[in-house]
Amino acid sequence: MATSSLETVITVLILCLCYTSSNSNPVQANFMECLYKRIDSPNPLSASCYTPSNSSFTALLNSTANNLRYLLPSVGKPQLIHMPLDDSHVQAAVVCARRLGIQLRVRSGGHDYEGVSYASEFRDPFVVLDMSKLRSVVVDIPHETAWVEAGATIGELYYRIAQQSPIHAFPAGLCTSLGVGGHITGGAYGPMMRKYGLGADNVVDVRVVGPNGNILNRRTMGEDLFWALRGGGGGSFGVILAWKVRLVRVPPIVTTFTVAKSSLEPGFTKLLHRWQQVADKLDHNLFIRVEFMPAAATHPKPTQKSLQALFNAMFLGGADGLLQVMGEGFPELGVQLRDCNQISWIEAILYIAGYPSGTSPDVLLKGKPLFRNYFKAKSDFAREPIPEAGLKGLWNKLLETDSFVMIWNPYGGMMSRIPEDQTPFPHRNGTIYKIQYVATWQDGEASTANKHMTWINDLYDYMEPYVSNSPREAYVNYRDLNLGMNQHHNTDATKARTWGHKYFKNNFERLVQIKTKFDPENFFRHEQSIPPLPSSIKKTKRRPRVHHKKQFKNGPSMMDQDRDHDADMREVSKKDGWKLLACLPSSIYHCGYAFQIHCQT
């Protein structure tokens, strides 16, 4: 009994210190007090919570925030960053945030293009749940699967697979610092998509924390929610803990090449027009994307303003096979044996990602992006080749600025064979290629941002006649808030169709139905999350909050923990003379309910 009392006293002391460091901020205080009540784990909570008063808070917030636009002083910052050390920490964070009416933003790799995993356009206080400490990868070569936690990067997954087998891989992204948790929720395309489909097409199971704090897997959640998680976008249905993915076979040697062409060369426009005609029809082992950038990006002193087009390729096979495919299908590019690199799959990943030749695969364990800057991005899908006249106009639009990237990624192959409703990702048969437009800049001045924003919006308007329509499709992992947003405390599934159909086409309606069933109160929400049907929100707003009985691992239920904790506090106050309310903010047991009322108006 003495030991138990001592442990309780120590807990109270820790709580006092935590609340003092939070400067009596009621959001921080309530959330942290709630976490301490609910977590029964050998991992210390004190090592997983960071408030703005912590010296490391800003560095931690910035560490994986890849769009510097959302680190400007004018952008609202989270009240707290919680870095869970095990699954029970995630469960507690969800339950506490829901109980207190606090917005929860979930970050795995920080690559959300509009920063919704670590910033918010809404006025509510919010907490960032940073998953980067949960990053284990367990590869099972005999069964050709792997379990990968949400905080791991795609590069770490690739590295761990290659450690165990030179002939296994996973078909996902080209940017190796992408967090696995969010990457797969949007689809996860990469250089093997034409043979094996998307990363989301190769998921066989998932573990996710739902809005009630329960951990669900494919069997317990059912096929509807499992469908929604594989391409329906992050932050709408739960917190991904881990994915179980299917590994695919690759040859011991693959071939890469990069061929550069200048817009000053004769036949430049005809060559790009030809690429549009053949890229989706070539052998499915071959992936050739085109990256456009100002010539100044590769030549410091160009003789005149021009574009550079880099034909960047990976072929699942040797150089002889590649040259045969190119000779038969795209001889206009003129690829020669001297252009080819015959390397292992993991070396090809480094090559495609842009690492210098000879870089050790160990760099993938660092999980760091090659660069960060201020940027705005948009996307399109082409279903017909852009005519040469349209291409010439496009080149002129690109030359109006000196800092951009445009990327064309070919489709076809397996992407044309998978039905568009097999997962929420609908951009399948009939798509020739996907277009990504990115405007970049190097300072946080509003005038600089406005100039580049205006340019990319004008470019997007110019492209309208040449890309998909009804709807004009967009890729959810290239999030674009200009397409439309949920309103603060007023989500509307009808209005959300303006952007929802661009990302998901007719699959949006099924996503709304699944959201309504599994998260009717719309706890998991952000600027472009899937909204539930309005009737379900109104219904849940009228009913009072109830404390559901939840089980964390094999420990006591939430209600049992509440009763035991409150009894301990009363016992400490009586027996040991602690003045608990003098230590804690006076509003700690009440302002949480005020937040609930505010969040439901």
Catalytic residue among 158, 478, 503, 589: 478
Helix or strand (DSSP H, E) at 232 = none
Helices and strands per DSSP (H, E), number in the chain? 21, 18
Give whole-number Cα distances, 32 to 520, 570, 583, 590, in Å.
26, 19, 14, 15
Gap between the Cα atoms of 151 and 242, Å rounded: 9
Cβ-contact 376, 69 below 8 angstroms: yes
How far apart CA 284 and CA 286 sit, in angstroms, is 5
Based on its alpha-carbon atoms, the radius of gyration of the chain, rounded to whole angstroms, reads 26
Cα 265 to Cα 275, 296, 401, distances in angstroms: 16, 16, 20
Residue 33 amino acid letter:
E
The Cα 284–Cα 397 span in angstroms is 32
Q: Whole-angstrom Cα distance, residue 407 to residue 549?
A: 50
Residue 72 gets the label, from left (phi > 0), alpha (psi -120 to 50) or beta, of beta
Strands (E), 198-252: 203-209, 215-216, 239-246, 248-249
Active site residue 478: yes
**Other C-beta atoms lying within 10 Å of the C-beta of residue 277:** 11
Block residue for tokens 């409150």: 566
Nearest to 227 by CA among 469, 555, 511, 565: 511
Report residue 592 as tokens. Answer: 């949480």
φ and ψ of 313, to 5 deg: -135, 155
Query: Which residues are part of the catalytic machinery?
Result: 478
